[in-house]
Structure 1
Amino acid sequence: MPLIDMSLEELKKYNGSSPCPSDMDEYWERALAEMKATDSKVELIPAEFQVPFAECFDLFFTGVKGARVHAKYLRPKNMDEKHPAILQFHGYSGNSGDWNDKLNYVAMGYSVAALDCRGQGGKSEDVGGVKGNTFNGHIIRGLDQSADDLLFRQIFLDTAQLARIVMDMPEVDETRVGAMGGSQGGALTLACAALEPGIKKLAPVYPFLCDYKRVWDMDLAKEAYAELKNYFRQFDPRHEREEEIFRKLGYIDLQNLVKRIQGEVFMNVGLMDSVCPPSTQFAAYNKINARKKMDIYPDFGHENIPQMMDRVYTFMMSL
């Protein structure tokens, strides 16, 4: 089997290279307290797109720092009993997608909520307010200020807040909520379940935002991770702050958050992934203490993988 990373035997033992801040737990407990103190001001607006068996809404809520955040929300019509729900998260720079691609879960009797990440391709608001690079680069956004200003802190909190909003919907059984997504969406799936322990099942696909130092050491700070190299070139060309930078990024490194996950995990990894290297994904997977399983695709990279989403759908059918 060709290799771009460690052997599979090594991957199964790998526990990451990036540091974990000593106050990681306190940092996220403080963040969650801020989120819970935020008045969500939820608004549901009927969407132009409608189908006979579902109701479709634009859902808006106020997240931390005052941003209005958008998600698509779909629910089945004419269901008298509470039912499960699925949260969906999109890839880096993308958006919540079309309405029609969520109807497979609605047809199964599930509600679906699909988040638009702040500052990316959807309708969510990015309130900004940081110095430094804002042209692109959400990983490094806020890096030159307090760790509380990291943009992915706010996006991670948005996922947990959306989960809580959906769980509180009168039609939803809050004990039967799942989360899923690929790449950045896989990362946000892990973040959501780490910050909202009520997530019962989660299916992250080749998750992004794991083990930044490993990405750097592999010289793969390009494509989705290009902003890491750009940051050093523009703001720390002699790497005098390298240790400090990777330590601060540790607050938004999923390998440092996944120990909080309580739901059942079904992760999917391609061993030829040069965008989100397999070792970075295993760094997170190996630290998950909850019930878990992984599907491994030896010949595939960061791409659509045959049969994978059918297997994710089957996994979610037992919510």
Structure 2
Amino acid sequence: VNVYHVSFANNDYASRMYGILCVPKASGKYPAILKVPGAGIRAYNGETERAGKGFIILEIGIHGIPVNIEGDVYHRLYNGALKNYHSFNMDNRDKYYYKRVYTGCVRAIDFIYTLPEFNGNLATFGGSQGGALSIVIAGLDARVKGLVSFYPALCDMAGYAHGRAGGWPHMLKDAKNRTPEKMKTIQYFDVVNFARQVKVPGFYTFGYNDMVCPPTTTYSAYNVINAPKELFVAETTAHYAYAEQWSAAWNWVMNFLKNESKNE
């Protein structure tokens, strides 16, 4: 597998997205997986082993900074300049932090389409924040053929205003954040709205003890998806997954993309 640290332009002047791209060395055309990240700020190593099975895998960060920095840079950012990034500019839909994230994920698909080794079949894959992004991008971009989502965040975020649990990052749990401006912005970015637009097969998994992404919020998105969907409920899990879930998810997406490629 050839491994690259890559970047590409995003939605604003000098704004870039960064990631680790893994491409099989053998000549040929391959399906692609866009792996989107969970919450936080960190380096990424890429999915070399799974890419070696015949897949282009682009694993991206969302913060517009390189993802191959050594040392404690990410720790300092997470506790400093980017602390609580998920709530930045929440009172303005055009400046809210996740706008550049959502557009950046679409730009990642644009980037994948420039690769000569890509065969046109692409799926998204992620957990928590990444589980949210996996659904969002599949709803936004018709070039996505399938998706995997573990316990998606950003679902039913306004639930707290209606007497039920809201999804991560729980910023509306505090009543003082429920201003008209913030409530309106959240409507534009809630995963449930994008879930309604998903038209492709998906694999979904979560547990019933998850307090980070409560299962009621996950179901709020899952239940409105009008597309083929496979659900793996691991009842006892909280905000984590068993090896069986990871294995089932990777097997699902790999088999799905291989079958899609055979059918063309």
Normalising to structure 2: TM-score of the pair? Answer: 0.84
Q: 1:179 to 1:97 in 2, by over 3 A?
A: same
Matches within 5 A, 1:87-236: 87-95=34-42, 97-99=44-46, 102-118=47-63, 122=67, 136-144=83-91, 146-174=92-120, 176-215=121-160, 217-218=163-164, 224-229=168-173, 233=176
Alpha-carbon distance in 1 for matches of 2:65, 2:217: 24
Question: Once the 2 structures are TM-superposed, how far is the Cα of residue 106 of structure 1 from its aligned partner?
Answer: 1.2
Deviations 1:120-166 (A, max 9, x none): 89469xxxxxxxxx65323321123x311111011011111101210
| 2:166/2:173 contact within 8 Å kept | no
Query: What is the TM-score when the length of structure 1 is the normalising length?
Result: 0.70
User: Is residue 65 from structure 1 mapped to residue 12 from structure 2 by the alignment?
Assistant: yes
Q: CA deviation at 1:69?
A: 1.3
> Which protein shows a greater Rg?
1
Q: State the alpha-carbon separation in 2 of the partners of residues 138 and 307 from structure 1.
A: 32
> CA contact under 8 A between 1:211 and 1:253: conserved in structure 2?
yes
CA contact (8 A) 1:220 1:275 kept: no
Which of 262, 275, 290 is 2:212 aligned to? 275
Q: Which residue is equivalent to 1:43?
A: none
For the residue of structure 1 that corresponds to 2:41, the secondary structure is coil
Give the whole-Å Cα distance in 2 for the aligned partners of 1:71 and 1:121: 7
How big is the shift at 1:191? 1.4
Q: Counterparts of 1:265 and 1:205 in 2: how far apart (Å)?
A: 11
Q: What fraction of aligned residue pairs are identical, expressed as a percent?
A: 23
| CA–CA distance in structure 2, aligned partners of residues 95 and 301 of structure 1 | 22
Is the 8 Å Cα contact of residues 85 and 172 (structure 1) preserved in structure 2? Answer: yes
CA RMSD of aligned residues (A): 2.4
Q: Which moved more, 1:245-254 or 1:208-217?
A: 208-217
1:247-286 → structure 2 map (5 Å cutoff): 247-286=184-223
Where does structure 1 lack aligned partners over 5 or more consecutive residues? 1-53, 125-133
Higher relative contact order (CA 8 A, sep 6+): 1
How many pairs does the alignment contain? 244
* Contact 1:140–1:228 (Cα < 8 Å) also in 2: no
* Deviating 4+ runs (over 6 angstroms): none
Structure 2 stretches lacking a partner, 5+ long: 70-80, 258-264
Task: Write the distance in 1 (CA, Å) between the matches of 2:52 and 2:132.
Answer: 26
Q: Determine the C-alpha separation between the residues in 1 that align with 2:230 and 2:24.
A: 30
The aligned counterpart of 1:33 is none
